[in-house]
Copies of this chain bind each other. A is one copy, B any other.
Amino acid sequence: MSSIELIEAAADRLRGHVRETPVLTSPFLDDMAGRRVLVKPECLQHTGSFKFRGAWSAISALNPDQRQRGVIAYSSGNHAQGIAMAATKHGIASVIVMPSDAPQLKIDNTRALGGEVVLYDRSSESREEIGEALAAERGLTLIRPYDEPQVIAGQGTVGLELARQVEAFGVEKADVLVCCGGGGLTSGIALALEKHAPGLRARPCEPDGFDDVKRSLASGQIQNNNASSGNICDAILTPQPGEITFPILQRLCGPGLSVSEDEALKAMALAFLRLKIVLEPGGAVALASALFRKDEIEGDDVVVVASGGNADPEVFAKALERLDA
Interface residues of A (CB under 8 A from B): 19-22, 24, 27-28, 41, 43-44, 48, 85, 105, 109, 112-113, 269, 272-273, 275-279, 309-310, 313, 316-317, 320-321, 323-324
Contacts and interface: CB of A to CB of B under 8 A. Distances in A.
Given A22-B22, A277-B44, A28 B313 contact: no
Contacts of A22: 19-22, 44
A276 B43 contact: yes
Contact of A309 (B44, B276, B313): B276
A39 B313 CA distance: 21
9 contacts: A19-B22, A20-B22, A27-B112, A28-B112, A41-B276, A43-B276, A269-B313, A276-B309, A313-B324
B320 A27 contact: no
A272 B316 contact: yes
Enumerate the 5 nearest inter-chain pairs by beta-carbon distance, A residue then B residue, closest first. A276-B309, A276-B278, A43-B276, A313-B320, A317-B317
Contacts of A24: 19, 44
Nearest to A276: B309
Contacts of A20: 22
A276 B273 contact: no
Nearest to A279: B276
Contacts of A317: 317, 320
A277 B22 CA distance: 13
A44 to B, nearest CB: 6
A7 B193 CA distance: 38
Contacts of A276: 41, 43-44, 48, 277-279, 309-310
Given A43-B276, A313-B320, 5 more contacts: A19-B24, A28-B109, A44-B277, A277-B277, A317-B317
A106 B276 CA distance: 14
Nearest to A49: B276
A323 B277 CA distance: 18
A103 to B, nearest CB: 12
Given A19-B22, A44-B22, A278-B277, A272 B313 contact: yes
B320 A316 contact: yes
A102 to B, nearest CB: 16
A272 B277 contact: no
A312 B200 CA distance: 36
Nearest to A271: B278
B278 A27 contact: no
A96 B320 CA distance: 28
A272 B316 CA distance: 10
Interface centre among A85, A275, A321 (most CB of B within 10 A): A275
A41 to B, nearest CB: 8
Nearest to A318: B317
Contacts of A277: 44, 276-278
Contacts of A28: 109, 112
A165 to B, nearest CB: 12
Nearest to A314: B320
A112 B273 CA distance: 14
